[in-house]
Structure 1
Amino acid sequence: MMVNNIGVISARDPDQAKKAIRYSIEDKDSPIGINPITGQLFTVRKLDRELVANHMFQVKAKEEPNGLESFVNVNILVIDINDNKPELSIEEIFVCENDMAGTVIGTISATDKDDHLPAFSFTLVKPNGNFSVIDNNDNTSNIVLKHGGFSLEDSRDYVIEIGISDGGRPPMNSITSLPIKVCRCDNKRIHTQCKAAQLKMGVSVHALIVILVCILTILVVVILIAMRKRHQKDALVTLGKSEIHEQLVTYDEEGGGEMDTNGYDVSILTSARNDGSMSMRQGPSLYAMVKKPPTACKGDMAVMIEVKKDEADHDRDEIPYDTLHIYGYEGPESLAGSLSSLDSSSTGSNLDYDFLNDWGPRFRTLAELYGVDGSEGSGSPY
């Protein structure tokens, strides 16, 4: 409660000058304030007797402008008012299966934080067909059965609402839900097995906050996962065709003369063509686009190369450009002469090519062309 006029502090100056007096409270955290001119005391904030019953502070009186000063101690006693609701005070309440009508199953009482003589009264907020409340006129009441026949196997829950009034001025009231258990008891009414009543309660604010935080966390995780997948998908779309082919098509080709040549895996290129990522170009064979050398003055080497070129021109299998071998042949009448080591034998070279017979079937044709016949006296390889 806020009070504007608790009391007045006054000071008297015995001097003839009669200077003005100003009042102040030394404790800046005091809940009591003072008018600096009149000395009237008032509350700065609400006082609660249950928290602090006495407030002690010091008031200073000083002559203006630079006169003498004096101090006085003030003690404020907070008087209690009826501002707290009564609270139900109860022990365990249960009903036995063998209890009969009129049995007192428990006694209830109440407590109050206010400083006054209690005069509690108890009532049932809603009429109940199983239980009744009888006031004992001593700030307690009995819970009495209206009928018997309770069973532990019964699925029903029993909860009654008790209304309490403290009889103060003004009177303070409260309502408390009281659960009652059904028990299996012995002859002395000592329970051996009980079925607790389920008190219906709403969800608290803290529980709602926890639920909302969990939901928000799940939503954030789902959104982050979706954004990550979308980013990965966009990264794949932005790749060029050449980059995709470089990542999907890999091969390691060795020279044609290697005995362990495995070439590359044609199935990879075939799969790339079948899935539509590599389109077939309709056009003339790459061999047909190679410029043919002149046909004048052809020797045996020129005839062989021309045959190979004709085979390549009419070959329907489009061999990849990676395996295309371009042959350069200088005619016998060229001023520069032939740059091929294979043709050097036609100029009277004494090179021995019999070792080609030891290289296997891959070099059988070259061995036949360049092998030296012992019956011939000339150095010609033919």
Structure 2
Amino acid sequence: MNCSALFPTLIVFLMMSFCVTNKAQAGRQSLRLHELNEKLQVSQRRLKRGWIWKQLFAPEEDPTPRTIGKLKSTFDKGDFSIKYILSGEGAGEVFKIDEYSGDIRTLKKLDREEKAFYVLRAQALDRKSNQPVEPESEFIIKVQDINDNMPQFINEPYVSSISEMCPVGTTVVQVTATDADDPLYGNNAKLIYSILQGEPYFSVEPKTGIIVTSWPNMDREAQEKYLVIVQVKDMMGLTGGYSATTTVTISLSDVNDNGPTFQHNRFTFVVAESAPIGTTVGRIMADDADVGINARMNYSLKEAEGSDTFQIHTDPVTQEGVILLAKPLDYESMRRFVIDAEAFNDHVDTRFLSYSEFRDQTTLHIHVEDVDEPPVFTTQEYEWKIHENMPAGTTVGTVSARDSDAANNPVRYHIDKGTDIKKMFKIDPENGTITVAKSLDRETASCSPKSTSRTSAKGCSQLVQVISAVDQDDPPEGHHFYFSMVPEKHINPNFTLRDNQDNTASILTRRSSFTRQDRTHYLLPILTADSGTPALTSTTTLTIGVCSCHTAGHCPTGGVEAFALSMSLSIQTLIGILVCLLTLTVLSILMLAVRKHRKQEQQEEQGQEEKTEQWEEVSEKVLRYSEMGVCGSDSGACRPVPLRPRPGRRERRLRREEVAASIRMSLRQSYLIGPEDEVFRQFILDRLSDADHDPYAPPFDCLRTYAFEGTGSATGSLSSLGSFISEPSFERPCDVGQRFMRLTLWNGAKEEQTTF
């Protein structure tokens, strides 16, 4: 065989060496096959041969066997003297040739993505001599592609981030999809991209899959994250093609396009004038819609009257402005401060906002709470000269002090205990006049040692109640509550509130004492605010009751006690209401029973009164004789003796109630009242007098009836009155059969004896 005959075989061999069998290489196989086929056709045109065939194609995914081509030699006269033989890839399994006609048929379904083409060899033999009439030749059967594969996205998931306020057309990300169909045959693998969700904010390039922004000035504070759904379709998007989708998550990163803003244009705080320097007066908070470094802020106080009394700094954790006391306070000289506070960003980006837009301000109203301060003397030192041997009571001089508080409470004076000077002088506690306590001797002490006189005023600022708050929310930075009294036209003259800066507040008195004669209850509304955004508030009314002093005279918290009444109803409150209703129902039933019982008692008392009337009739028949005599002989000596019946009702005693009320009033007016006090002695004497003259006081007289057995009995009388029979001593004769009995009647502690 010459070299020219071997050249086509070499070409086919080189072509087969570049073939692959997986789907991912199907496209490249088709391209290489096209190139090798062209070379083969050129080589074949240079040869003189007798083979006749066309380009052979076999459609993929066709399950029906069919004829795809025909091989024929020029020596074939149609008398079936030529025998055709097929060998190579898929011969006998995938393809079969008719040995008489040279027709090539498929035997099974083909898959282009599994194998794009087959290289076969054909021979033509003389059927009689079995000798080749044509040289062996190679040819290619190409698997024709159909659209049987869906496009698929690669490199999923797609996540990207861009800055807010970026310009239109900013590239976000590129999505990529592949199709296993033949890219060189038809439109089966030609892909088109489109957006199903995400417009009008984003758009996609149809052929490249590049996603760009299409909406100006996208604001992260309005929407931080977008989910864009991209669709890809083969066959250039024509009907009948396959499609696939993917989701692209796009986040907007923050830029400093927002300045701080205060939710309230006014903050009110209360601080005691006795608060030390460095005390936290309160906290303010400005909101910034940005995050991270763009949300960091500082606070400052604008210059105003008294603004240097306070300082403000930023809490690095909560970003709150903490107001601190920088100078001592004096309620009498400055009762209220009005200061403007400003919040501004640390990091300023003028591409988005002007310099003035990166700041905001609010007004602080700081009220100074009056504290009971000690009185002060009008003069620090007093110096007097007196003669020796002056009698006791001689006036030495007068000291004067005043209460530094606005209330101007009364001032009382006294000399310190434990010093000898107190033995020499006395001081009037009301007006401060100092007098000689005993005669002074110059030779003993020419000059009394200097001493400090002290004063005392009635106390106030006593703790009444400590209140706290709870919140169902759970902020990341924890809770911080602000307590204040509900603003009124004037400052509350009775009570004040001190925020303890630990989520509690103390209720303090502003007066030295309270009396129930003035008022029995005080209602104190309290406003509680949280540190959330926006800040939420609630109002609770604290009911403060004026209580009575103890027996020894001690009055806790100035005689007041408090309990809170919430403005909102909870489940516990509803349960308490139900319990109260049930209690009222039971009490109503008990009252009906008591009324029924009292009605029965009244009926019994009426019966008793009827009996009493009978006893009164009987008492008229009881006679008393002043001296012993014969019955009926001295009618002038007999007089009726009434019995003391048990009264049916007792009239209401008002005097005892009034006396007891006077004693209770005396207890309030004096801390020490003992049994030897005149009030108690008079009270006891009044009670004894009432007992002696009270016709309703027990014991009561009663009448006992004893039957007379008659005369002539050998055993005598069986009555117990027989023990009272005395020997008969008659001054005048008496009828036989008469007996004398002595009846003793008791009237309270007195007794009377009457003889019958």
TM-score (norm 2): 0.22
The structure whose residues are more often strand, as a share, is 2
Q: State TM-score, norm by structure 1.
A: 0.40
Structure number with greater Rg is: 2
